[in-house]
Structure 1
């Protein structure tokens, strides 16, 4: 923000209303430095003038500076919610006004002290008597050609609009206005009437700044505030939905893309299909979508289509009326689709559903109505549908084992969860997450040795997150001591690691050395000195020094 305002060549101040401080650029700083009382008055005005009438109030403020200059302020309007204001300072030299008053007619004005200000003087009828060379830069016309022209004509022809001089001639009062020129630039103009002894206007002198760049800065500030507002709104939305991002373990780019997609579509009732190998966490992501959606206070009903026999799945989904078949309850039964009313229905392993049931599910998706088994009453339903599978549905369509029309109904938004072996950078985070989870659950305080960690990270994890979670829990419970060593890992993980590294099975001495290294390194990290390490491990200081030198690389 500071750099934006400092790049402007005219006197301007960026004011932050929430913190009540001013950031003047170099031109504004010079004016305030030479007019201490004005700076204090401005600070008071900025603090105590209400936002609603501030801009209008400021238009009427003209102050005589300590060098007899006329100081005026103009505030660029932002929207009511903005915490910023841009104040433009016009420093008008009354000595210069007096000089212009005594200038000969039809004479161009030379360069002024402030080369970013344009000056134009007219008589009491609006005929241009004097004009600065700088006018050409602002209005893209030849200054000399305008001498003797009427401002009323120039206003009609669009050289500038509206004319500040015209307003002064009509009201007899000093005015500050915004006008536009042929280049569509924003020009800030202050026009001063000069009156004769009979109080008739004899001349009008206009001082102009091109403030187009300030409007660009205003837009940039507005865009920044808008983006910040969107960010905070999204953040509050996520907080209100109780998304616990620290528990969403997945730092890889692939997983971050998935989390971003989920937050985008969660509040829209589109059908979502989640694909990926067994154990990647498809059920977890279905629950996450539900939890951050507008339906999060309603039921989340999960159905594993592969775990329920086909002859029972239909009655589980659709329910039945009393006595509709042998063994049916007299009072009937609500189906899971009906129980998901206003909530989310998650159909896992959707590929295992029979073609007959697929037809009925398609009708529910299309019509949002169904009948219980043995019932005639049409029941309306309103739920969000999420499905999941570890199989290739397009291949099943080719085999005529899955309906193509149902596939396209389900596949509005597709989320593919990559296998754990495809995102190695997530494995370490998951290991630490599950270690913390099960240590807390079983009131333990165990850690993994470096060797074990290397084994786990390099393993392929065919069973994905589910296999990793189960292995961590098992190893934590069966291991001895606070440091989990390689001997407690399953054989398939140990052999896989050795094959990848071209290693034979470790000797007993190698395992003992690895275990000893872990203990010594952790002791040194904790106690820092050889004396403390020796005391903690029950060995002599000389032995502690020797082992620390052996295992701690940075020790000197």
Structure 2
């Protein structure tokens, strides 16, 4: 295969007088005809038509005379020796050509590449080998088209560039690979089309379309020159990606709430987003493109300039700018550095926070209101949960609780009196939970459970070093700890006389003086006192101060004993039993007759005794059903050791009282003697009367139990 050696030419950039001698020297040194090669409209090499190539031409009856016959005189274009340079010559001719030398070795003319190829077409059979040699020798892709626009020849370089084979290309219409529009244009106009980028899934190439003309300037065919650009497709894809990225960035900038400015290292505005802060810029930002925005600070448009701060500190800066109109703008400047670590750009994001500041204040206010509502709701829930823990249904307890709800709204001193175990502490807690002090402390102190010598220090506290053995830091008393809350003093009747005086001072002056100190401490404490003694009698006996009694007895509440509110017995019994069942995973229940027995028992220990009896029944019971016989085993001692008279707690019709006593006697007799016969003998009435009345009592109790279960 014949190879063509390419030799580089020193490029001549411009047409000046100094280049004329260089051009002459270049042409004189070339001893043979040659063809120039171009790249991006510049001559970069030439192929010599040496003797070996000429011999090939002669063998195929393509003599040197052909070149000379088709050569055009250089002098016909211009005077080469006077004022023309090599690049200028190429620009004048405007297409690839070969310079022909005469017998004297000097350039005498040039011949176009198409003229040579046209002659080869005429001598098709004889010049096949030569054409293959030429096509193979050219490093670019070459495709030759005939008049029918079919590809009749090509080189291997071209096939590689379009990623195909000769079998799929030769004798096929060229438009299946290349642009039909460009091919038709060259055939119709005879003009050369250069630098057309064609990208498909199979290839990415740069294509030149050159016509092959005969002597009559008729297009005989087309030479398609293909330059493989491996990076063209990648570059095109990257360009498309950049375009898409640019669209995305513009869309993002348009959707961002903040105003975005891009400033260069000199402080000059380059571009900005669509979102502009209203009433901030006094001019159209388009007019500020290319101008230094630092000057705007000097003009007093805003202060301070975040751009200036970033330029000075070379780090991210956040400032709140204030305009002449009083608007507040949050501006954040982010520096962008190049590869050398030099400041390249400043991105400024600004947001009008005037409205935001106002909304923030409103939000804080709403949060306070919400917290207040939440607190009130929690208080309501807490009160509701506490009320559910209060188990009662008797009219007397209903009346007591109505009084408690009224008392809870005030801070008056309350005196609770009643028998031991009636639930005085529960009532005190109810006053705390239902009142305005529910969120404050609730402290309880049993005045009878603490030794007299310690009670004073517990109540009033002591200063450091007040006495031997005292805490070196001193101690706060119950009054100080319960400040703003409630102090529950149980068994107030057990308080020593000398402490009663100090307690009276606290109630009168609302201040305490710790032991070992002379400085009074102001306190705001509500006192709830409780006792099971008759304080009026103690006052008469001189064991309780009269003035303190009247100070405590502001709101007196008498808690009735359990025997005076028998309606609560069954309800409390079921409540305690349910709690024990849940605690020990049991399923005990009271039979109706067991409830009857419990209701007729006087309960000297009141609710506390009832709770203890229920726990004793659960612990010792052998069966899940707890009946009257089993209950009476634990209550019988109360009947034997204490003769109880029938208790009537209110004025009622005589017959109703008689029926009530009769019912109690029949139930007690049946519990004790078990049979109606023995019970009748003990009561002194007939057996049939006992049987009839007892069945009636049981029937009524069963009905009450069913109603209670339904509730």
Report the TM-score when normalising by structure 2: 0.37
TM-score, length-normalised on structure 1? 0.47
Larger relative contact order (Cα-Cα within 8 Å, sequence gap ≥ 6): 1
